[in-house]
Amino acid sequence: MAPRLSRGTCPDAELRADELNRLVGELTPFLESSPASAHPWCAGAVVLAGRGGTVALHEAVGWAVRYRGYDERADRGVELPRGQWVPMRPDTVFDLASLTKLFTAVVAVRRLEPDREVAAYVPEFAAAGKRRITVRQLLDHTSGLRPELPFHDHADARDRARLLWEEEPVAAPGGTRIYSDLNLIALQHALERETGESVDALVREEITGPLGMHDTRYNPPASWLPRIAATEDQRRPWGRLDRGMLRGSVHDENAYAMGGVAGHAGLFSTAWDLALLCRSLLDTGGPRPGHRGYPGFETDAAWFMGALAGRGAAGHTGFTGTSLVIDPATDSFLVLLANSVHPCRLWRDGSAPRAAVGTRFARALGVV
């Protein structure tokens, strides 16, 4: 059953209006260059904040499309004529990048046994010292696998899979945490082998369909294009492929090579749809009723949560400028979606805006 969410006021959500009303203001300095930064952090953003079943803030700032390209010699964005700039709207659709991992993790917890070895689902995965890696170790990034592999260099799906089968862990499984796309790609293989269904079908059956997330999917149709935020002028050497300015096509090169559907990246969504996911997770206490906790999520990460960290908050970020945080202690949620790789990933400059927004929301909650 889809969670109930409605727009309401700060009193409805038991939030301090004076603080919440300043939250969007925390973002605006990051939309333009400044003495502290030669580049804007993003061209535009959508922010949503709520508590209980009430969304008290859902606003857009800046531009979904501003640039037609990037001039690497001058290190500047090449702007479109002003009349062609597309403003951000609350219902703007974003390339979620690594927020996709959360969807894969939720499905994995529902469909796979966390303490079972991955090789039990995908025997080929056992090669090169990976036999003892478990589903749980993939979920919490303790498999020992490196962050990524160049799947985009291989047109054949069998060659891409062989890269993963032949990959040897760089650290002993079960020890050091190494954040890795490979973990979620391996989970994708395990899910598809176990269920006989593709990961996009599983996400639709387990999450987006039941929760009524109608604006969330892989490979958005052409009819969505007017609502989609642009990402990057993707070219070598900063990119791994030469694809030009991207809008509506997945930014991640490996996900693109996989047809836009991957365990680590590829989903597009809106702030409201992500709020539905947040509300569902808060309602159930985790990805599966009876299974407490949030596998696949970062916990108490001050670098992007700000003052929300340290209280059991859980969340995640995406390379394109996306993030979400849920705080079980206050039954609250915060979604920030931005196009911080528009026009080029070289302009990305940390997570200061995410942390600032998190701290302002913590003040609105009255926890700091």
pLDDT in tens, 297-324: 999 899 999 999 998 999 999 999 999 9
291 has pLDDT over 50: no
Please give the pLDDT value at position 36: 62
Position 284 confidence tier, pLDDT thresholds 50, 70, 90: confident
The mean pLDDT of 54-81, rounded to a whole number, is 96
pLDDT at 273: 98
The model's confidence at residue 199, banded by pLDDT at 50, 70 and 90, is very high
> Do β-strands 54-65 and 86-87 pair in parallel, antiparallel, or remain unpaired?
antiparallel
Residue 289 predicted with pLDDT over 80: no
Per-residue pLDDT averaged across 177-182, rounded? Answer: 97
For all residues of the chain together, what is the average pLDDT?
94
**What value does the mean pLDDT take over residues 16-21?**
96
And the tokens for 85?
Answer: 């700039």
How many angstroms separate the CA atoms of 335 and 366, rounded? 18
Judging by DSSP bridges, how do beta strands 298-299 and 54-65 pair with one another?
unpaired
Q: What is the pLDDT of residue 288?
A: 53
- Which whole-number Å values give the CA distances from 324 to 16, 87, 185, 305, 338, in the listed order? 20, 22, 21, 9, 11
H or E stretch covering 54: strand 54-65
Domains of the chain: 1-29+298-311+345-368 (no CATH), 65-292 (3.40.710.10)
For residue range 249-277, list pLDDT tens digits in order: 999 999 999 999 999 999 999 999 999 99
DSSP 8-class letter at 207 = I
Cα dist from 228 to 44, 64, 368, whole Å: 12, 7, 35
Query: What pLDDT, on a 0 to 100 scale, did the predictor assign at position 38?
Result: 74
Q: Residue 85: name the closest of 114, 61, 64, 56 by CA.
A: 64
Query: Is residue 142 a contact partner of residue 115, using CB atoms and an 8 Å limit?
Result: no
For residue range 152-165, list pLDDT tens digits in order: 999 999 999 999 99
- Position 285 pLDDT exceeds 90: no
Where does residue 348 rank: exposed (0-12), middle (13-18), buried (19+ CB within 10 A)? middle
**pLDDT tens-digit map of 329-350:** 999 999 999 999 999 999 877 8
Residues 6+ apart with CB under 8 A from 246: 95, 230, 231, 232, 233, 234
> What is the pLDDT at residue 1?
67
Q: Look up tokens 């609350």; give the residue.
A: 90
Average pLDDT value for residue range 211-215: 97
| Residue 102 dihedral angles phi and psi, to the nearest 5° | -65, -40
Give the pLDDT of residue 34.
66
**Sequence-ordered list of residues with C-beta below 8 angstroms from that of 59, at least 6 positions apart, any chain:** 24, 46, 47, 90
Rounded (to 5) percent helix, strand, coil in the chain: 35, 20, 45
Q: Give yes or no for residue 80 having a pLDDT over 50.
A: yes
Residue 356's pLDDT is what? 96
H-run or E-run covering 24: helix 23-27
Give the pLDDT band of residue 286 (cuts 50, 70, 90).
Answer: low
- pLDDT confidence of residue 145: 98
Q: What is the mean pLDDT of residues 267-292?
A: 83
Q: Let me know if 35 is exposed, middle or buried by CB neighbors in 10 A (0-12, 13-18, 19+).
A: exposed
